[in-house]
Chains A and B, each alone.
Chain A
Amino acid sequence: MQVRSVTQVTQYIKVLLDNDDELADLWVEGEVSNFSRASSGHCYFTLKDSECELRCVMWRTQASLLNWMPRPGDWVEAHGHVSVYERGGAYQFYADVLERGGVGARWREFEALKQRLQAEGLFEEVRKRPLPTWPRRIGVVTSPSGAAWQDILSVLGARYPLAEVVFSPSLVQGDGAPESLVQALARLNQQDDIDVVIIARGGGSLEDLWAFNDERVARAVVASRAPVVSGVGHEVDFTITDFVADLRAPTPSAAAAAVVPDIHVLRTQLRDGLQALGAHISRRINGLRESWERERRLLRLHDPQKILAEQRQRVDDLMRRASSAWEHNSMLRRIRVNGYIPRLQALDPRTVLARGYAMVQDGLSGVMITSTQQTALGQELSIHLHDGSLGARVTEISSPGSL
């Protein structure tokens, strides 16, 4: 059996590790211990979890890019590769990126915060406020440079351009994001008449959304005077902000759509409303016309004009009958009168006079003398013949026997 030198063994191991793809590029998370920065600028530390430890190095060039100083106890995520430090005979992790609060730690923080806020009742449905039907001023908290802001604007513009958007710009990721979100919400809260608030950011990794799991942000959402709709673009995971928001929408666009009515629906409803109005009034008028016609028919039966006309007709009728009766009568009378004429003519004294008789009157009084008894000697008489009269005086009176 060949005997190897230490160097040979070490180099053999180093080649093995260096050729392993898995070890060449990986993220590792753990708790920092023994962190030290040498005067050279290189950083040395150990990452550990409950079971194991991993020695780590971060060279000066990468370490100088760190904007924070890891402290023992911090939970970090490190990116780099595993190789062998030949002189020390040790494998170690060569870190090139070091991030605070890896997912594991964050997840534990997240769960703890979630349980705490839930215990406070902040996720309760009864606490959630209804959204206004007709929002006039819509507060929006998001990044001015993000796609979320553009999405929200275009959805609001298309669905409900009657509203006013009050934009309160904020950082949405990075260390300053939670405080910035809190400030942005506070600025909206200082406005008097914000009807509803959208807090949003576009899609991203769970990391990117972490500010929305910050307790300060959650409490600012709860403290908002207007109801808050969250649109933190991550369909799968709920953030703490989602839990405390009055409504949770899966994306910024969905959040915008949730806070306003849709103008197209409104137009349809207006059209329907107009139709309903028209239908009502024409039904009303038709109904009235029908009953009016019914009444009119009834009325016509009792029309005084008509009654009057009928009575007039009856009067005319009577008159006609009366007058024809009258005419008949008078004709009869005329016929009867005509029958008397020859008889009257026969009685006319002048006809008698024409036959040689005379009519005698007292010359003074005109009394008809029909008897000798009415006369005395010397009495003036007037004797009428058929063609004139004579004045005479009585000279003799004789009795009938003497003639």
Chain B
Amino acid sequence: MEWEQIESLSFEDSYARLEQVIQQLQAGNLSLDESVALYEEGMQLARHCGRKLDDSQLRVTQLLASVAETGPDSVEEC
């Protein structure tokens, strides 16, 4: 997976891919090039996950109590 692709992954997808990469490495049956490529991808995924965790901040959206008052699409950030 390319670096740019990894950067655009969500934490969940990145984490899932990392688990997959580790499993593939554990399974063996890979050429050295494939192993090294997986290793590098795994490192990037792990770093990406770590950054996602570091940078994340809980977002809160509040649904307005009365839909009739404000229209169906209105949500407010707080």
Binding site for B on A (CB under 8 A): 133-134, 136, 153, 156-157, 160-169, 183-184, 187-188, 190-191, 263, 266-267, 270, 273-274, 276-278, 280-281, 284-285, 288
B63 touches A188 (CB 8 A): yes
- What is the CB-to-nearest-CB distance from A243 to chain B, in angstroms, rounded to a whole number? 26
B62 touches A169 (CB 8 A): yes
A277 touches B63 (CB 8 A): no
> In the assembly, what is the distance between CA of A333 and CA of B56, in Å?
102
A267 touches B50 (CB 8 A): yes
> In the assembly, what is the distance between CA of A166 and CA of B61, in Å?
5
B60 touches A153 (CB 8 A): yes
Binary CB contact string for chain B from 16 to 57 against chain A (1 if under 8 A, 0 otherwise):
001101100110000010011001001100100110110011
Binding site for A on B (CB under 8 A): 10-12, 15, 18-19, 21-22, 25-26, 32, 35-36, 39, 42-43, 46, 49-50, 52-53, 56-63, 65, 67, 72
Closest-by-CB residue of A relative to B18 is: A273
A163 touches B63 (CB 8 A): no
Q: Report B-chain residues with C-beta under 8 Å of the C-beta of A167.
A: 60-63
Q: Which of B39, B59, B65 contacts A165 (CB 8 A)?
A: B59
- What is the CB-to-nearest-CB distance from B70 to chain A, in angstroms, rounded to a whole number? 12
Give chain B's interface secondary structure class. Answer: helix
A273 touches B63 (CB 8 A): no
B62 touches A277 (CB 8 A): no
Closest-by-CB residue of B relative to A154 is: B58
Q: Which of B22, B57, B63 contacts A168 (CB 8 A)?
A: B63
B35 touches A281 (CB 8 A): yes
B32 touches A285 (CB 8 A): yes
Q: A134-B12, A285-B32 are in contact. Are A277 and B58 (CB under 8 A)?
A: no
- What is the CB-to-nearest-CB distance from B47 to chain A, in angstroms, rounded to a whole number? 9
Q: A167-B63, A280-B26 are in contact. Are A161 and B50 (CB under 8 A)?
A: no
- What is the CB-to-nearest-CB distance from B46 to chain A, in angstroms, rounded to a whole number? 5
Q: Report B-chain residues with C-beta under 8 Å of the C-beta of A162.
A: 11-12, 52-53, 56
